[in-house]
Amino acid sequence: MERLRVALENARSSRRDRDADAVIRHCNTAAKILQDSYELKTDDPAVPPTCSPESVFLWSSALYLLAWAYADLERFGRAASVAGVLVAAASNVDPAIASFHPHSAVPILPLVDPAPLAEANRKLIEDMEKRLSKLVEQSNAVVETLAPVELRQDAGVSMLYRITLLEWASAEDGAKSVFRCVLTSEMGLFRRWDLPKGPITVRCSFVTLQKYTEKIMPVPGSPVETCRLDERGHSRFSFSSKELQALTAKFPQLHVLFECDSTMVPLLKGPLSFPPEEAELSTYRPISVNWKTGGNAATFVFQERGDAGIHGRMWDSAVLLAQKLPTLIEAFLSSLAKDVPHLRIMDLGCGVGPVGSIFASSVRNAEVILTDLDVGIELARKNLAFNDDLVRARGSSARAVELVWGDSRTAAQLGSFDVIVAADVAYEVEYFDDLLVSLEELSSTHTTNGLSTELWLVYKRRGLTTKEEARLFGRIESIYERVEGGDLKLGSLAEEVGCKLFRYRRI
Q: What is the full per-residue pLDDT of the chain (507 aa) written as tens digits?
A: 567 667 767 776 776 666 777 777 777 776 666 556 544 433 334 333 344 544 544 555 556 566 656 655 655 555 555 555 554 444 443 344 333 333 332 223 223 333 333 343 344 444 444 544 443 343 333 333 322 222 233 333 467 888 989 889 888 778 899 999 988 877 666 655 566 777 889 999 999 998 776 789 999 989 999 998 887 788 999 999 999 999 999 999 999 999 987 678 999 999 999 888 888 899 999 998 887 655 578 899 999 987 777 788 888 999 999 999 988 898 888 888 778 888 999 999 999 999 999 999 999 899 999 999 887 899 999 999 999 988 888 889 999 999 999 999 999 999 999 999 999 998 778 889 999 999 999 999 999 888 999 999 999 887 677 888 888 999 999 999 998 765 578 888 888 888 889 999 999
Cα distance between residue 256 and residue 245, in whole Å? 13
**What's this model's pTM, rounded to 2 decimal places?**
0.69
Q: Give the 3-state DSSP-derived string for 279-309, with helices as H, strands as E and coil as C.
A: CCCEEEEEEEEEECHHHEEEEEEEEECHHHH
Q: What's the alpha-carbon Rg for the chain, to the nearest Å?
A: 24
Cα distance between residue 390 and residue 297, in whole Å? 11
Cα distance between residue 164 and residue 143, in whole Å? 15
Residues in contact with 420: Cβ distance below 8 Å, sequence separation at least 6, in sequence order: 345, 346, 348, 439, 442, 443, 453, 454, 455, 456
Q: 132 near 76, Cβ under 8 Å?
A: yes
Using DSSP, state whether 53 is helix, strand or coil: helix
Give the start-end residues of each E strand in 158-295. 162-171, 176-184, 201-209, 216-218, 225-228, 234-240, 254-259, 267-270, 282-291
